[in-house]
Amino acid sequence: MYQDIFLPIVFELSLSSDQRCLTSEWKKLIHELLQVYLKQFCNDDLYIIGHVKALAVLGKQDYIKFSCSNNSGNIDIQDHGCQEGISEVDVTINSLVANICESESRQMMEKACQALKNSKEISNLKIDIKKNSKPKQKHHHFHNSKVSDCPICNSHNH
Amino acid sequence: MFSENQKLLKKRPHIILFSGFLGSGKTSLMLKSIDILASAGKKCAIIINEIGDVGIDNRQMRMLDYDVFDLFGGCVCCTMKVTLEATINHLLETQENLDYILFEPSGMANPQSLYPAIVNCGYEESDIENVFIFDVTRIDVYENRMKQLFSDSLDLAKCVVINKIDRVQDKQITTADKMVSARRPDLRVFKMNINEELEPVYKNYLIGGSE
Ligand SMILES: Nc1nc2c(ncn2[C@@H]2O[C@H](COP(=O)(O)OP(=O)(O)OP(=O)(O)O)[C@@H](O)[C@H]2O)c(=O)[nH]1
Ligand SMILES: [Mg+2]
């Protein structure tokens, strides 16, 4: 039994302000949001961070990528281009953490969003977490027993 | 006949597989490798298999203006295997003068399971340039929870990149090195910080090694 314990959970957030904000301000805010999210479990041995990564889309070719790939909770940030003065940013977060179920992770994300709502950085910040439109998968798909071992769990789960 | 087959094989693009655990640095190294290959005038195609309903790496690649073939919606198992095979065949049929296919599987996939699909496209297992990215900050995970994955990854690797060396102390790098050589003393090992300019030895290996 190994990697099957990492359940992929996706959050799609929409952040908006009543004012145009600088890229650096959005970056700081999203960084903080991810920090608050991660802090809730990264110090607990039970949870193993596989990879928590986020892409904030600023424009057609401009983005900020955030990445946390171990339990230190440190977040790496990579910028590409920058759009100055935007009032809305869409953020996709892909969270692969062992031993956290979707509802638990969602609660932690909601808590993080709540904590950031009164941010002084961004005027009148609104954060919307989109509801998952896709049906939940209990585990990754693996329907065809004729094929050889599944790379994720070596067929321990099927 | 033999020489005809060889001619066909010659025309086939090289396949480079960037394997490694979640968050190890596969996308980062693949992006740098594409740049290296493109500067050498090589034509590359990219295949990504990302776990989760919505991909991040594929979006990032597209924003950087790369054409990406997604194997989307989950892991490279069952149906995805068929998709991988179909995608490679599609590339072989439609992309003229393609020199390289670069493939980043999900960090949750055991690389062993990807080989049959590639072999079904006419490659030999030994043709697959498997670059195993060994994130040195993850020694404990490999040692304690994912031993099997680690040995499977090493067994298939053509070279190992021990990365994130800027994040740890020398003794951890030595430990990582020993973990590799204990199982595969023959393997070429590169130690690097992928976020920096890559060293010429890796560049040469990438271009020369698969030529
Ligand atoms: N400091 C440092 N950071 C690195 C190095 N290699 C990769 N990273 C960082 O590690 C993080 C994860 O890198 P990715 O390239 O996204 O890893 P990945 O293996 O593609 O991740 P998944 O596709 O989610 O499994 C990024 O923030 C990279 O900048 C390195 O050598 N040094
Ligand atoms: Mg990646």
Q: What is the CATH number of the domain that holds B194?
A: 3.40.50.300
DSSP 8-state code for residue A148: -
Task: Using the structure block, give the residue that is written with the tokens 């490279």.
Answer: B76
CB < 8 Å to A6, chain B: 22, 108
Residue B7 in any domain: the answer is: no
Residue B28 CA, closest ligand 1 atom number: 15
Distance CA B207, CA B211 (A): 6
**B89 part of contact set with chain A, CB < 8 Å:** no
Residue B4 in any domain: the answer is: no
Q: Among residues of chain A, what percentage have pLDDT more than 70? A: 80
Distance CA B28, CA B147 (A): 24
Give the pLDDT band (50/70/90) at residue B18.
Answer: very high
Quick check: A148 and B116 CB within 8 A? yes
Q: Which residue has the higher pLDDT, B167 or B53?
A: B167
Q: Which of A33-37, A136-140, B121-125, B199-203 has the lowest mean pLDDT?
A: A136-140
Q: Which two tokens stand for residue A107?
A: 């609660």
Residue B49 in any domain: the answer is: yes
Q: Which two tokens stand for residue B36?
A: 């290296």
pLDDT computed for residue B2 by the predictor: 43
Report how far ligand 2's centroid is from the alpha carbon of A83 (Å): 24
CB < 8 Å to A57, chain B: 59, 63
Residue A154 in any domain: the answer is: no
Q: For chain A, what is the domain count?
A: 1
ipTM over 0.90: no
Distance CA B121, CA B101 (A): 13
Q: What is the pLDDT of residues B51-110, one digit of tens each?
A: 766 789 989 998 998 888 877 655 544 456 678 888 999 999 998 889 999 999 988 888
Residue B3 in any domain: the answer is: no
Rg, C-alpha atoms of chain A: 17
Contact between residue B130 and residue B110 where contact means Cβ atoms under 8 Å apart: no
Contact between residue B157 and residue B130 where contact means Cβ atoms under 8 Å apart: yes
Residue B94 in any domain: the answer is: yes
Residue A146 in any domain: the answer is: no
CA angle B197, B58, B72 (to 5 degrees): 140
| CB half-sphere exposure, B112, CA atoms < 13 A | 16
Residue in A with minimal Cα distance to B55: A94
Residue A145 in any domain: the answer is: no
Residue B96 in any domain: the answer is: yes
Domain hosting B48: range is 13-209
Predicted TM-score (pTM) of this structure: 0.89
**B84 part of contact set with chain A, CB < 8 Å:** no
Q: For chain B, what is the domain count?
A: 1
Q: A90: part of which helix (H) or strand (E)?
A: strand A86-98
Query: Which CATH number do you get for residue A57?
Result: 3.30.70
Work out the number of other CB atoms within 10 angstroms of the CB of residue B131: 25
Domain hosting A22: range is 6-130
Residue A140 in any domain: the answer is: no
Average confidence (pLDDT) over B167-181: 98
Work out the number of other CB atoms within 10 angstroms of the CB of residue B166: 11
Quickly list H helices, chain B.
2-11, 26-39, 57-63, 79-94, 115-119, 139-144, 147-156, 170-183, 200-209
B167 close to ligand 1 (CB < 6 Angstrom): yes
Residue A99 in any domain: the answer is: yes
